[in-house]
Amino acid sequence: MTSTEELLEKAKKAVTSGDKEAASMFLAQAADAFSSKGAYSAAAKLYEQSAQVYRQIGKTQQYYDAIEQAILMLIRQGAKPEAYSEIVRLSAAAAKTAERAIEFKRAADFYFRAAEFSATEDSRTEFNTRAADALEELADKQEEEKNFSEAVTLLKKVGRLYYASGDNDLGARIDDRAQRIALRWAEASKNTGDFLSAGNALAEAAQVMQIRGILSEAARAMMEAAELYEAAGLFEKAGNTYDAAQEAFQQQRLTGARKQALLKSAEAYLKMEGAPEVLAPLLVKAGGMFAELGNVKAKWAYKRAGELFGTLAAKAAKDNETDAQKDYLRHQAMCLKLWGLKKESATIYQQVIDYYLTQSQTEAKKGNKEQQAVSLEELADVLSETGDVATSRKHLQSALDIYVSLAEEKTVSAEMEDASKYYSKAADCADKLGDSEKHFLFHKLASERATDAASLYESMSVPEVATVWVRNAGTEALNTNDPEMIEKAIVFFRQSAEGFKRINESDDAFEDFFQVFEVTFDKHPEARDQISALIGQMEEIAKSTRKKYMLSLVTVLRVIEKGDYTAAILTLQAKEEDLLPKRDRLRKLVELLKVRKKAT
């Protein structure tokens, strides 16, 4: 007999003799052996059997561990409906076991797992609702123990889940409770002198109030939170919170209250100390706020920011970081100009102008046309900042002409990758010049050359590179902003997504399916079946890779697909930390829901 068969025989004898702990151990060892051989289906069954024996003898942690191992074996079998169905069954059973043991956090986690692998929307909703119920039980416990911060966090999550399930009344009830607990938390923290916690509590309350549409109360709570942050010496946090309050007041057209919040935000930033690279941009922001209010402190903010940018420029020069030095000098010159020292500003601007002009001339002499064009673009940007628009446009046009010349040369020599790149750079220059016709033309040409490059690599049997260039063709087509080209972009991105999938580049495939989703949801909201299918394709990749950001993104897209703005914005807020690189793109999709709701 093989060692695996011996282990199973030992497990059988242990069960017969009543030694269930030994039986579960032998079953787990046999499962390990099957797993090491890639026999994941057999391993999953044995891990489940081991788990059941552990549960019978009260070894709950070992039970949960064995269930997790069984689920892992099922995941390793790939995107098989029968495997996913088993994951749902095991997860739901483990969740019920955890609920009976009053382990509500663990129960919620297992219900979330069941929802994640469910085949239907109804099933997903059911398990997410059960998870919400478990988390509410946990929130009750946290409130009883006066762990207000954790209780509020849990209730906000519960509310989001109820909104996502379509039960807005229950979601609103939970939000009301979260708000009341947050205010209790704030009072308790103020009474103990913990101003940071008090501020955080009021900020949480304000967020819930905003969700509920109580904007005036939310703005007032933000103001009080900011005052508490100031009392705690956290001036950047205070400034940011006052800034959020002024935006809320602006939405309500409360001009006087907005001006007060704006002033307090600027003054909080002025009180800051810290690293120059952090402080200088915030002082520029403060200067802008003071300037809007007609407050003389604007000059002081710009003066201090200019000094800090000067310090940063000097350090960059010492470290031989020329590009950084010139960037800091530009910011210093801007601050001096806003401060009112136009002569000193012009002197520094001229240093930067002379540098880029010399760079472009040097590169021209060397025959480095691309670097010459890059320097001309930088030169044009600086001249635009100084107000010399005419000269700026002249140099920008020169850069554009160089890029077009390079693109044409590369096209003739059949170097299609470079041709595409240069046409794309020419399109960017045309955009800066405000020439929409050339912007469209050059992005279109860049897309065509990218398609040529893809065809070349396909003929050379290099699918990895060919797929990258199909994606590039899609990007350039999309950048034309032309309806016909956008339809071509959708086709290109679908092709690249499938191409990346074939060569097992899951991250790239997922990204391109998301790109197709974005464009389709924006341009063809009526294509519900296509939108749902795209989410399904992304979900398949997310489940197979188990990458957190993918799973979070699919969760957000599922809610966006339903068309509920409140549920979508809440779900995005909950997953925002996992999705920072895509936050702005997702917010645009969520805002589309609001626009469409108003239009109906």
How far lies 466's CA from each of 14, 113, 462, 503, in Å?
59, 37, 6, 11
Which residue type, as a one-letter code, is found at position 253? R
d(CA 186, CA 162): 26
Sign of CA dihedral 358, 361, 367, 368: positive
- Cα 346 to Cα 111, 181, 481, distances in angstroms: 64, 56, 38
Contact between residue 308 and residue 276 where contact means Cβ atoms under 8 Å apart: yes
Confidence (pLDDT) at 371: 96
N-term to C-term CA, the chain: 72
Round to whole Å and give the CA distance between 106 and 396.
60
Among 253, 195, 251, which residue's Cα sits nearest to residue 225?
A: 195
What is the pLDDT at residue 596? 85
Running along the chain, 600 residues long, what does each successive block of 10 average in pLDDT? 65 69 79 83 89 88 93 88 94 96 95 92 93 96 94 94 89 94 96 96 93 89 97 96 94 93 96 94 97 95 96 96 94 94 95 96 96 97 95 97 98 96 98 97 98 96 96 98 96 97 95 97 94 94 91 93 87 86 93 82
Radius of gyration of the chain (CA): 30
Question: How does DSSP assign 504-569, residue by residue?
Answer: T-HHHHHHHHHHHHHHHHHH-TT-HHHHHHHHHHHHHHHHHH--HHHHHHHHHHHHHHHT-HHHHH
CA atoms within 13 A on the CB side of 205: 28
Q: What angle do CA 116, 117, 123 make, to 5 degrees?
A: 80
Q: What's the pLDDT score for residue 432?
A: 96
Sign of CA dihedral 284, 290, 291, 296: negative
Inter-CA distances, 276 with 72, 280, 286, 311, 344, Å:
48, 6, 15, 8, 21
Which of 377, 463, 384, 388 has the alpha carbon at shortest distance from 425?
Answer: 377
Instruction: Please return the burial class of 70, using the count of CB atoms within 10 Å of its CB with bins 0-12, 13-18 and 19+.
Output: buried
Q: What is the pLDDT of residue 212?
A: 84
Tell me how crowded residue 137 is: count the other CB atoms within 10 A of its CB.
17
The closest of 504, 505, 501, 480 to 490, measured between CA atoms, is 480
Q: Which secondary structure element, helix H or strand E, spans residue 130, and what is its range?
A: helix 121-144
Q: In this structure, how many other beta carbons lie within 10 angstroms of the beta carbon of residue 595?
A: 9
pLDDT at 15: 64
No. of helices (H) and no. of strands (E), the chain: 28, 0
Tokens of 580: 């920072």
Residue matched to tokens 């695996």: 4
Q: How many Å apart are CA 444 and CA 454, to the nearest integer?
A: 15
pLDDT for the residue numbered 9: 66
Residue reference for tokens 């040529």: 452
The structure tokens listed for 526 are 């009526």
Can you give the pLDDT at residue 11? Answer: 63
Q: How far apart are CA 107 and CA 103, in angstroms?
A: 6
In single-letter form, the type of residue at position 93 comes to A
Instruction: Supply the pLDDT for residue 1.
Output: 43
Cβ atoms of 491 and 478 closer than 8 Å:
no
What pLDDT score does 338 carry? 93
* Cut 0.85: pTM above it: no
